């Protein structure tokens, strides 16, 4: 008996089913996941690294990692998109930190420049989820917002953020945690009120 050629996965196939297929070597399943999530992964990498070549390298690594280690994705701990973006962010931060000279230069620049609020808002302008995020970020106390932005978008440790903001490390640590909790609540509230829809 001859097996039929594997058909392309349906667009409605769940992420979990596609990861199962990836674990069994189905390249078209990885291609489907790339079509579904490649854009946001690449977008995050570009936003963090600000260099197309590095962003492409990181995007490639994220999906090759999923191909080679699908077992690292645990659906019980979050969605596949969250997993891919977490992987992307961590890898991009590694790249940022590995380029010590460039990072130091950027730190100096950021010490002299305002927090990139406008740029952040512009980057999010077109997507509903971006509207949700923008709305929530706008309601955060400015100290919490700046700490989160410098940590997430700048790739800085909280100790570096503390130096940038001239605040005690413990204060920054607390503000990041409080801000992230508040963001979650704000986004949940905004979502239920239809802010992003």
Q: Is 103 in the site for other proteins (CB under 8 A)?
A: no
3-state secondary structure the chain: CCCCCCCCCCCCCCHHHHHHHHHCCCHHHHHHHHHHHHHHHHHHHHHHHCCHHHHHHHHHHHHHHHHHCHHHCCHHHCCHHHHHHHHHHHHHHHHHHHCHHHHHHHHHHHHHCCCCHHHHHHHCCCCHHHHHHHHHHHHCCHHHHHHHHHHHCCCCCHHHHHHHHCCCHHHHHHHHHHHHHHHHHHHHHHHHCCCCC
Q: Which listed range, 59-67, 101-109, 111-119, lies at the site for other proteins (CB under 8 A)?
A: 59-67
| Total chain residues near other proteins (CB under 8 A) | 94
| Residues 168 to 197 in contact with other proteins, rule: CB under 8 A | 169-170, 173-174, 176-177, 179-181, 183-184, 187
CB of 157 to other proteins, least distance (A): 5
Q: Is 59 in the site for other proteins (CB under 8 A)?
A: yes
Q: Is 145 in the site for other proteins (CB under 8 A)?
A: no
Residue of 123, 135, 143, 165 interacting with other proteins (CB under 8 A): 123
Nearer to other proteins, 40 or 107 (CB): 40
Q: Is 108 in the site for other proteins (CB under 8 A)?
A: no
């Amino acid at each position: 008996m001859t097996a039929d050629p594997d058909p392309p996965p349906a667009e409605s196939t769940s992420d979990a089913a596609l990861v199962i297929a990836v674990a069994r070597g189905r390249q078209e399943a990885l291609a489907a996941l790339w079509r579904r999530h490649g854009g946001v992964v690449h977008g995050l990498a570009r936003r963090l690294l600000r260099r197309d070549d590095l962003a492409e390298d990181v995007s490639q690594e994220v999906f090759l990692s999923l191909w080679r280690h699908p077992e690292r994705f645990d659906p019980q701990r979050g969605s596949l998109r969250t997993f891919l973006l977490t992987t992307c962010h961590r890898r991009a931060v590694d790249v940022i930190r590995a380029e010590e000279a460039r990072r130091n230069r950027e730190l100096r620049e950021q010490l002299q420049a305002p927090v990139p609020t406008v740029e952040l808002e512009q980057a999010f302008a077109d997507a509903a989820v971006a509207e949700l995020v923008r709305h929530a970020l706008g309601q955060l106390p400015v100290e919490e917002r700046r700490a989160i932005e410098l940590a997430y978008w700048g790739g800085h440790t909280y100790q570096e953020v503390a130096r940038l903001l001239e605040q005690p490390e413990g204060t920054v640590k607390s503000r990041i945690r409080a801000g992230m909790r508040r963001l979650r609540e704000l986004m949940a509230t905004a979502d239920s009120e239809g802010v992003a829809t």
